[in-house]
Amino acid sequence: MPSVTIVGLQWGDEGKGKVLDAFAGEADVVVRFQGGGNAGHTVVVGDTKHVFHVVPTGILYPGVTCVIGNGCVVDVVALQEEVSALAERGIDLSRLKLSSRAHVVFPYHRELDEARESARSGASRIGTTKRGIGPCYADKASRVGIRVGDLRDPATFSARLRRVLDEKNAILTQLYRRRALEFTPIYERCLEAWEALRPFVVDTSELVNEALEAGRRVLFEGAQGIMLDVDHGTYPYVTSSHASSAGVSAGAGVPPAATGKVIGVSKAYTTRVGSGPFPTELEDEAGDRLREFGREFGATTGRPRRCGWLDLPQLRYAVRTTGADAIVLTKLDALAGFGALRVATAYAVDGERRRVHCPDDPPARIRPIYEELPGLPEGVDYAGAECFEDLPPEAREVVSFVERELGVPVAYVSTGPQRRALIRREPQLFA
C-alpha cells in the first residue's frame, strides 16, 4: 500500500501545509483524518498565499482527490465559504470528497466553546481557537452529535437539531447566563450549506480503501501536532482529537497498516499557541525576537505564538509516539542572523536526568538542559539551496545534530515558505 502520513511533531504550526503542498503533487489522494476549522495550513505558491482550514492542501493540484474523513469535525457553513473562496480562485473542486460520517460543528458548539473559555480565568483557560472543536467532539463521544449525512433528510435533521438545541440552550442560559440560540436560522443556514456541499458527500472510507487496494498513492494529512493530541499531548491543554499517526486508521476508516510511512514535521525551534506547558519557552526579549524572525502569528486566529528553543526530549517522545520514520525540519532559514542557538538535549526533573519527555512529569519541575550551536549566517539564499551541500555548514550542523540526537533521518529540510524551498535528501516519497 503506497501511503504516507504527515503529522506535526510539536504543538502544531510546524509547517505541515507547506510540506504537504510540496508532496501532494506526487499523490493521487490526500486525506484529512482529524480536526476541523481550528487548523490553519499555509501554502505559498508563487505570489499567492492560501490558508486551508478543512479542505486538504492537495486541492491545488489538478487530478488529486481530496478527502475530508470521518474523523474530522466540519462547520458546514465555514466549509461552504472555504470552498467558494477556492472556486473564485479558479480551483476545480469536483475532486473534493466529504465523509457522510464527519460530525457537524454547529453555532451552539462555538457558543459553548466561547462560554467555557470566558468562564475560566488565568491558567485554567485552554486558549482554544473558539471554533467549537471541543464541544463538537464531546457530542460525538456522548452520542448526541449530528453527522453530515444526517442533513440529507430535513425531517430527521429538524427533529434531532431541536432535541440537541433544547439541551444546549438550557446550558447556555442557565449555566452561562447567555442568550438562547434560535432554531430556524441554524436549521435553514445548515440546509443551505448542505445543498452546496451535497455533491461532495460520499462514504470516504470506501473511497480511500478502494484507492489503496488499487495501488493509488495516498497521503494522510495531519492537523495540529502530537503535543496537542487528546491522549498523548499536554492534557488538558490539548485539542479534542487524535493528532498522532494513530488517528489515521479511525479518522479515515482504513486498517492501521494503511498509515504507511510516517513523516513528522518539526520546526528548528518550538512554538505554541494557547495555554499549557512549554519547557523551552523564552519569555523574554529573545522570545520576541524569535517571533519576529519566524513571523510567528496564528494562521487561524492571528494570535502571537509563544516561542522557544528546540526541545529534543519533547521530540524524542514525539518520534516514539508517532512512529516517525523520517523528519522534515522547517524554518531553519528563519534563524539566519539570530545569533548562537540553543537546543534542549535533556531535562532535569527533580534533579533526575530525563532524555525523553514524560507526560506524567509535573511541568513546573522540568528544567531543560541546553547545548549551544553556532548561529546561522545571514545573506545566504537558503530558499535557493538545491541540495543539502548548498546549505552553510552551520545549518548542516543543526540538521546533523538533530539526526544524531533523535536517531531518525532528517530526510527533508524546508528552507522557506514557498513550494520549491524544500531540500529532499530522500528523493522517493512513496515506496
Binding site for Mg ion (CB under 5 A): 13, 40, 299
* Distances 317 to 62, 244, 265, 273, 399 between C-alpha atoms, Å: 37, 12, 14, 20, 18
Return the C-alpha cell found at 264. 513528522
User: From the CB of 389, what's the least distance to ligand IMO, in Å?
Assistant: 31
Return the C-alpha cell found at 162. 431541536
d(CA 126, CA 124): 6
Residues 298 and 306: beta-carbon distance below 8 Å: no
Q: Which amino acid is at 280?
A: T
**Cβ proximity to ligand GDP, 11 vs 108, nearer residue:** 11
Segment 5-24, which members bind ligand IMO (CB under 6 A)?
8, 11-13
d(CA 161, CA 427): 50
What does DSSP assign to residue 39?
-
d(CA 196, CA 3): 31
Four-point Cα dihedral 233, 239, 243, 247, nearest 10: 110
Q: Which amino acid is at 301?
A: T
Residues 54 and 102: beta-carbon distance below 8 Å: no
**Cβ proximity to ligand GDP, 307 vs 334, nearer residue:** 334
Specify the residue for cell string 436560522. 185
Out of ligand GDP, ligand IMO, Mg ion, none, what residue 133 binds, judged by CB under 5 to 8 A for its kind, is ligand IMO
| DSSP element (H, E) containing 48 | strand 48-52
From 58, 145, 274, 287, residue interacting with ligand IMO (rule: CB under 6 A): 274
User: From the CB of 219, what's the least distance to ligand IMO, in Å?
Assistant: 15
Would you tell me which residues interact with ligand GDP (CB under 6 A)? Answer: 8, 12-18, 40-42, 44, 299, 330-331, 333-334, 414-417
Question: Mask: binding to ligand IMO, 197-236, rule CB under 6 A, as x and -?
Answer: --------------------------xxx--x--------
Cα diameter, the chain: 66
3-state secondary structure of 112: helix
Residue 419: is it exposed, middle or buried by C-beta count within 10 angstroms (0-12/13-18/19+)? middle
Out of Mg ion, ligand IMO, ligand GDP, none, what residue 9 binds, judged by CB under 5 to 8 A for its kind, is none
Catalytic: which of 13, 28, 113, 333? 13
**Cβ proximity to ligand GDP, 21 vs 405, nearer residue:** 21
Residue 197 backbone class (left: φ over 0; alpha: ψ -120 to 50; beta: rest): alpha
User: From the CB of 39, what's the least distance to Mg ion, in Å?
Assistant: 6
Q: Is 350 an active-site residue?
A: no
Catalytic: which of 21, 28, 41, 113? 41
Segment 34-93, which members bind ligand IMO (CB under 6 A)?
38-41
User: From the CB of 223, what's the least distance to ligand IMO, in Å?
Assistant: 4
Binding segment for ligand IMO (CB under 6 A), chosen from 76-84, 124-132, 246-254, 406-414, is: 124-132
Segment 134-173, which members bind ligand IMO (CB under 6 A)?
134
Q: Is 109 an active-site residue?
A: no
The residues of the shown chain that bind ligand IMO, judged by CB under 6 A, are 8, 11-13, 38-41, 126-129, 131, 133-134, 223-225, 228, 239-240, 273-274, 299
Active site residues: 13, 41
